[in-house]
Structures are given as C-alpha cells and as structure tokens.
Structure 1
Amino acid sequence: MADPAGATGNGERLLVVGPSWVGDMVMAQSLLKTLKHRDPGCRIGVVAPAWSQPILERMAEVDEVVPLDVGHGEVGWSERRETARRLRGRYDRAIVLPRSWKSALVPFMARIPHRVGFVGEQRLVLLNERRRLDKSVLDQTVKRFVSLGLPEEQAVSGDFAIPRPRLAVDPDNLVELRLAYGLSSRPAIGMMPGAEYGPAKQWPLAYFHELAAALVAEGYEVRVLGGSKDVTAGETICQDLPHAVNLCGRTRLADAVDLLADCCQVITNDSGLMHVAAAVGTRVHAIYGSSSPTYTPPLTANAQIHYLGLSCSPCFERTCPLGHTNCLNTLLPQRVLDAIHAG
C-alpha cells in the first residue's frame, strides 16, 4: 500500500466511503481506478468496515484504509465522531457510495469541503453535491460507483469506461496455504455455494455435490470456499469425496483471494466471492437465480453466465415468491460441467 493520505503530493486528496458487502467493495475498485486515471497524483483513502481491509490492501490504488468498526445497521455515533476527528483537515473531497444517511456522517463531521453522493435518506445537509440516480441509465452497481467520480455532465450520460477490478495476489501466502491445508498438486476448481442475500440466489447443494464428484473423477481437486455460515454447505458438497476440501470458515478474506487465483476455474452463486474470483482473473462460471447478470455481472471477460431467464426472473427476492425456485432447480449440473469442459 502507498503512503497514507496527507503525504506530500500534487493531486487531490480523496476520501471514498465504501460499501458494506464484499462484492460491492470489489466493484468499488473500478471507481478507484477511474480516480487514479483522471488524476494520477491523487491520494485515496477509503472508509470501510474493518473486515474489508484485507481486500482494500490488495488494491494498488488505495493509499489509506480507514476502518470503521460499526455493526451493519448501527449508527455508532462515538466511532463515527472519532473517525471524523482523525480525518479532519486531511481530505479535499469525499465520495459517498452507499445511499444511507449514516454513511455520509463521517465526511460531514470531518468537515471535508466537497461531499458528493446520490440523493437518499434525508442527506440534504450531509452532502453538498447531491446527484439524482437515474436507474435506467446507471443500470449497474459498478456504473453508479464510477459515475460519482466523474463530472456530473459526463456521469448522467452513462457513456463512460468501466475499468475492471484487479486484486493483487500474494504467492508466498499461497504456498503457506497449500501446506497448511494439505492441498494437492491436482488442478484446482473452486466452488462458492454461499450467497448472503438468501436461498433464491443459491444453487442446490446436491447439484454442487454432483458436479464436484464428476470433477474429482476427472482428476481435479475441488476447493469449497465461504464464510462460517457456509461450513455445513461445504461439508455437504465434500461428503465422501476424496480430493474435495471444505475451506469454509477456515480462511481469511485475503486467503480467499490467493486460493481463488490458484484455481483454474470456479463455480459460484452471485456472491461476493464471485467478484473476488473475477478480480484475480480466474475463469468464472456464475450461476444466477433471483438476481440479474445485467445488474451485477462479474467484471471480467473470462466468465460464463448460467442464467435461465425464466418469465419470473429476476424477482430479486430472498426466497422464491412462487415456492419452486425453478430458476435454479432446473439449471442442471451437466450444463455447468459441459461449460467447464469447453473452458
């Protein structure tokens, strides 16, 4: 990571208030790349949840990470006041990515002169450049992020480049991980069965298991990655399979970056780790159910989308409102296996 904001330099000092989800944080790198491209001498700090620091440290554009230890949905007045106090006088402009009023508090209390974000949740005082969000033009999350780093007259057109995220990989850490978890020399394929939003985004575990069995029989090592909530899912996928390793809940977020970079291909729900895999250049097979690959696609040219596009899709619901989840249940393992074979 480069020198912290406030070090000598001729560029603008920019503070970005980052999002609260892994995938969104990865996509936010497209904004950071845009800012650096427009002003190579700028200094970028990112206010973000503490869990995101390992991801931000893998972004070359980030000069300072400002962890904000406030639980999701909490106001955390004292933490925000203390963070603002430490930032006072150190930044020229703040870009607030989330649309909640809480997310705009730190730049306001830090008295950052120029504070830009989308209109939302009574932020009239907290922001002094408030932009209206035209969802028909800015139809992707990443477009919305990047637009806030551009002049408004350019941003409203929706006609601008979207740099692809690229996370740095630590080869030394990967060696340690391979030894620590007894990973084999077989070519590795990653599986990410989790999706924080809900079951309408989760391909059936039985399908993951069937696919894993076929891949192990073909000579691959299957690595299942996810958080502590995904441990049981990982056990289901790996059950009775040699060369299938359940790493759910056992690795740090930075470890997931390196392990995914070491995989030749991954199969994943629409999740945060999908965006991590895309950002390290691994071939991604992205499975979409209730969500839309148009709205949150993996930002890579090395991806294949598996989406049935049923008449009821996308519904963006946590659970299927029709009770059948056919958008995922009728997307069979053989289709994904054929795509893996095609490379």
Structure 2
Amino acid sequence: MPLAKNAYASILLMPPNWLGDVVMAQPAMRALAEHFPDARIELFGHAWLQDLTPFLNLGKASFCAAPAPCEAAFILRNSFHAAWQAWRMRAANRYGFRHEGRGILLNHALQARINMKNEHHREYFLDLIEQAGIPVSQRQVNLHAPEVERLLGEVLLTEHGLDVEKVICIAPGAQFGGAKRYPHHAYARIIAALAEQGWQPVILGTDAERNIGTDCLQNVAAASWNAAGKTSLRQALQIIANTRLMLCNDSGLMHVAAGLGRPTIGIFGATSPERTAPSGQHVSLLYQPADCSPCLARECAVEGQPCMQNITPETVIQHCLRLLTH
C-alpha cells in the first residue's frame, strides 16, 4: 500500500557504510526525499557522510551526527547494529530488510527480493523503498555538484599549479582490498602517456594510498599533483566535479564521478559490472574476466592476478583518449 506524502514529518535515513554503496543507494534515497518533500530528513552515518551529502541531490535532507527522535527510520544498512541504533533512537516506524536476526527490532521488517550476489546493488536499495510503499521515478544515480563546490575545486586545482581545463583524475587504490587494484606499474605507463598528450594528472585516494600515487606519477615530468591523503572527501569531490576524466578501479570515487556526469573509466577484476556498474552517460567499463572471475575476494590468490593482466595499458589509454576527445 502506498505511503501518504504526509505520513511522516520527521525521518531518519541510514545509508550504507561504504562510499560506493551510498552512491548506488542514491536513487532510493532520492525517491524518499521526493515523496516526503515537507519532512525533516536527517542522514545518519559515518562522519565522512557530511562531506558527501551536498552532492547527493536529496533536496532539504541534511547530515546529522546526533539525530533527534523521529517518526520513521529507513535503514539501508544490513547490520544488526543499525537496526538496534534506530530502535534506541526511538524511531516509531523502522523499515529495513530482515537480516542477521534483526527482524525483532523492525516493526516493518521486509524480505529482500534482490540477490546482491548476482543483481545490481541499486535495485537492492530500491526494492526496500518500493516495498515500503514509496514510488520510484528514477532508477539511475543522479548526483549534483553545487556551483560553489565546483568553484572551490577550481581554486584548489589552480593553487597547485594546474590548468583546470587539462585536469584528469586517477584513483588507483581501492579500500576493499588489493584484488580490486589495477597494477601500479600499468597505471604509471598510462598516466605518462596521457601526460605526454598534455593532460595533467591528479591522484586521489587516502593517506594509506599515497605511496601508490607516488609510484603512478614517477614518469610524469609535466604538472601533476599527488593529492592522495592531502584532501578531505569533500575536497576530492570538488576536484572530481572539475575533472575532464576519471580513471579508477571499481571504487567509491568511480561511482561519484559517473554520478556527477564526468567521463569515467572503471577497471573491474575481482568484482563484476553486473553487480556494481556505475550510472552515467559517459562511462566506459573495462572487464576481461579470468576463469576465477569474479572472485569477490579482498586479495588475489592467483599468481599474476590474471583478471587485471588481461587488460593492457594500451587498451586503457585508447579508452581514455576516446573519452577525452569526444
């Protein structure tokens, strides 16, 4: 039964825990925000969610580190702890999937109809929203960079000696594990070739990935910036809003760039595009599976990481230049 648009005046929205999953959940969260335009909607989660919220295109919804009691909670995480948090925060109506025995804490415990092992994660989150009685009009990710955020990114790039019109972003890491990472030496060859064409590379990532960024830029003499570990998530998003190209592994920043409409190349190996392909009109996905793909492992157990070795640097360069010249 459809929920009335005035059913709830205050809503707690609990997005998933990983950056990429939050972006893939954006269509579901957007549907909720559109259905309850007058409600107070608070997003509750990791502190970095505050940096992402302005880009999620969710109307008046805002991040809140300490949510007030609310009439309804929509729990897009699967953990028992998340359901317990919603119950402890005195959310009167708690919507979520039955998982890890947490049904006792949910007075709207729903049964997932989407199998995340072989169906797209976007549809999993949309399934929850639709079963809750909320109509969905847009099933693709549609992020938005406010103009002030884009301008701040432009200033940041200029301060580091870069020409905004020539910036390309590379995110060679993947917090999930090494099995999702394209080899550093291959990235170095690709980046050097693009730099020779006049493009100015910016490496994005965490402080733990800074050495990877250094390796990737070792053959670049032109203007460049290893920004891994040197920006907040919000600053990284501001930079992405200005980039001419995003080249990366299957990662959260891949989903952000594609969702913002930036030309994006995603390299897949241990994971499958069938489950986590990003939304976007200017997206090129490279996937040459080995016999063991997709293993979904954090670290590769096969010598030589064949799923990544099957994708040559020359192939990646061709795809990059195709997106950069169209």
1:56 counterpart = 2:53: yes
Offset at 1:133?
Answer: 2.2
Aligned residue identity for 2:141 = R
Q: Distance in 2 between matches of 1:235 and 1:291?
A: 26
Which of 65, 76, 90 aligns to 1:97? It is 76
Q: Which runs of 5+ in 2 are unaligned?
A: none
Q: Any conservation in 1 of the 2:204–2:227 contact (CA below 8 Å)?
A: yes
2:57 partner letter: A
The percent identity for this pair of structures is 27
Structure 2 equivalent of residue 211 of structure 1: 190
The aligned amino acid for 2:130 is: L
Taking the aligned partners of 1:289 and 1:202, their CA distance within structure 2 comes to 8
Distance 1:174 1:11, change over 3 A: farther
Please tell me whether residue 87 in structure 1 is matched to residue 68 in structure 2: yes
Q: 1:124: how far off?
A: 2.6
- Specify the alignment match of 1:166 in structure 2: 143
State which of 306, 313, 322 in structure 2 corresponds to 1:333: 313
3-state SS of 2:55 partner: coil
Aligned counterpart in structure 1 of residue 29 of structure 2, from 32, 47, 68:
32
Distance in 1 between the 2:141 and 2:160 partners?
31
Q: Establish whether residue 277 from structure 1 lines up as the match of residue 254 from structure 2.
A: no
TM-score, normalised by the number of residues in structure 1? 0.85
Per the alignment, do residues 153 and 19 of structure 1 end up closer, same or farther by CA in structure 2, a change over 3 Å counting?
Answer: closer
Pairing of 1:1-343 with structure 2 (within 5 A): 12=8, 13-61=10-58, 62-67=60-65, 83=66, 87-88=68-69, 91-136=70-115, 139-151=119-131, 161-169=138-146, 170-184=149-163, 187-241=166-220, 242-343=222-323
Please report how far the alpha carbon of residue 101 of structure 1 lies from its aligned counterpart in structure 2 after TM superposition: 0.8
Rounded to whole Å, the distance in 1 between the matches of 2:142 and 2:164 is 28
How far did residue 27 of structure 1 move? 2.1
Q: Deviations over 1:210-268 (max 9, x none)?
A: 00110011111111111111100000011141223211111111111121121111110
User: Hey, what's the Cα distance between the residues in 2 that align with 1:324 and 1:267?
Assistant: 22
* CA positional deviation for 1:104: 1.2
Judged with a 3 Å threshold, the aligned counterparts in structure 2 of structure 1 residues 177 and 10 are, in CA distance, closer, same or farther, namely same
The more displaced of 119-128 and 202-211 is: 119-128
What is the CA–CA distance in structure 1 between the aligned matches of 2:219 and 2:138, rounded to whole Å? 47
Deviates more, 1:195-204 or 1:28-37: 28-37
- Distance in 1, matches of 2:83 and 2:144, equals 27
Distance (Å, rounded) in 1 between the aligned partners of 2:232 and 2:165: 23
Q: Residues 131 and 11 from structure 1, CA distance in 2 versus in 1: closer, same or farther, beyond 3 angstroms?
A: closer
Of stretches 175-184 and 16-25 in structure 1, the one that deviates more from structure 2 is 175-184
RMSD: 2.3
Could you list the structure 1 runs, at least 4 aligned residues long, displaced by more than 4 angstroms after superposition.
152-155
Amino acid at match of 1:291: T
Q: How many aligned residue pairs are there?
A: 313
**C-alpha displacement of 1:202:** 0.2
Q: Secondary structure at the match of 1:48?
A: coil
Is the Cα–Cα contact under 8 Å of residues 18 and 28 in structure 1 kept in the other structure? Answer: yes
Once the two structures are superposed, residues 312-334 of structure 1 have per-residue CA deviations (whole angstroms, 9 ceiling, x without a partner) of 21010112232331000221111
Distance in 2 (alpha carbons) for counterparts of 1:128 and 1:259:
42
Distance 1:160 1:57 in 2: 21
Distance change >3 Å, CA 218–CA 179, structure 1 → 2: closer
For residues 205 and 139 of structure 1, the distance between their equivalents in structure 2, rounded to whole angstroms, comes to 30
Give CA-to-partner distance per residue, 1:148-197, whole Å, 9 cap, x none: 22235899xxx984142313241331232023322135512111101011
Q: Secondary structure at the match of 1:134?
A: coil
Contact preservation (8 Å) 1:270, 1:286: yes
Distance, in Å, in 2 between the alignment partners of 1:301 and 1:237 is 28
Kindly state the Cα deviation for residue 54 of structure 1 after the two structures are TM-superposed. 0.7
Q: Report the alpha carbon displacement of residue 342 of structure 1 after superposing the two structures with TM.
A: 2.0
TM-score normalised over the length of structure 2: 0.89
Whether the 8 Å contact between 2:11 and 2:73 is mirrored in structure 1 is yes
For the 8 Å contact 1:186–1:219, the answer to whether it is kept is no
CA contact under 8 A between 1:154 and 1:160: conserved in structure 2?
Answer: no
Secondary structure, counterpart of 1:125 in structure 2: helix
